[in-house]
Chains A and B, each alone.
Chain A
Amino acid sequence: KQEVTQIPAALSVPEGENLVLNCSFTDSAIYNLQWFRQDPGKGLTSLLLIQSSQREQTSGRLNASLDKSSGRSTLYIAASQPGDSATYLCAVRTDSWGKFQFGAGTQVVVTP
C-alpha cells in the first residue's frame, strides 16, 4: 500500500529565504505527483503537476523535482514571501482510475 510522508510537519523561515519541502512515497509505481497549497479554511490550490516520466516542473518561483527510483519529490520555493505561508501537500496518483494518496502536509510560516 502506498504511503506518502512529508517531513517536516512544520517549518518557519524568515522572508527571503528559500523553502525546501520534501515528499516521500513508498511505491515508485506512480502515475504522477501533484503539489498543492492549502490556506486555512480554504480548498486546495494546485501548484505543480509532475508526470511519472518527468524529472521536474517549474512555475515562477516554484520548482518541483521527482525521483521515482528513490521515492522522493522536493518542492523548492525561491525567495519566500509572507504570502507563501500555508500548508503544502503532495499527492501521488497510484492508478489509472484516479486514486490519489496524500501526504499529511508541511505547514509553512514565512516571517517578515
Chain B
Amino acid sequence: DTAVSQTPKYLVTQMGNDKSIKCEQNLGHDTMYWYKQDSKKFLKIMFSYNNKELIINETVPNRFSPKSPDKAHLNLHINSLELGDSAVYFCASSQDRGGVTYNEQFFGPGTRLTVL
C-alpha cells in the first residue's frame, strides 16, 4: 500500500529516557513533516524537511532532534523525556513540485507517546 507509515504506534516510557519514532513514506514525496497533537487535539508543526534538508524548525526544545537519512524517511529522536512530551506525534508528507504548486499533505497514523 502506498502510504505514510510510522513506528511504533504506541510508546510508553519513563521520564528521563531517550526514544525514537520512525516515519517512512513511499509516495515519492520530497517534503516530510513532524506534528505534535496535544491533549486538546490541537495540531502544531514541529519540523519540516525538503529533500533531506531541514526547512522548518519551530520553537521546539532541542531535546527533539529530527533526522532524515533520505527523502523517504524522517525520524524523530527525543532525549530526556518529560511528562509534557506526552502527546500523539504525526508524520506527514507532501510533494511541492519545485514550489510551483503546493500539494496536499498525507498523514501517517500517529504515534501515541506516554511519559510516566
Contact = CB atoms under 8 A, between A and B. Distances in A.
Interface of A: 31-32, 34, 36, 38, 42-46, 49, 51, 87, 89, 91, 93, 96-100, 102, 104-105
B35 to A, nearest CB: 8
Q: Can you list the 3 inter-chain pairs with the closest CB atoms, starting with the nearest? A: A44-B107, A49-B104, A102-B43
Contacts of B109: 42-43
Contact of B105 (A31, A34, A96, A105): A34
Contacts of A38: 41
B41 A96 contact: no
Interface residues of B, number: 28
Interface of B: 4, 31, 33, 40-45, 48, 50, 55-56, 90, 92, 94, 96, 99, 101-110
B110 A98 contact: no
Interface residue SS majority, chain A: strand
Contacts of B92: 44
B56 to A, nearest CB: 6
B83 to A, nearest CB: 21
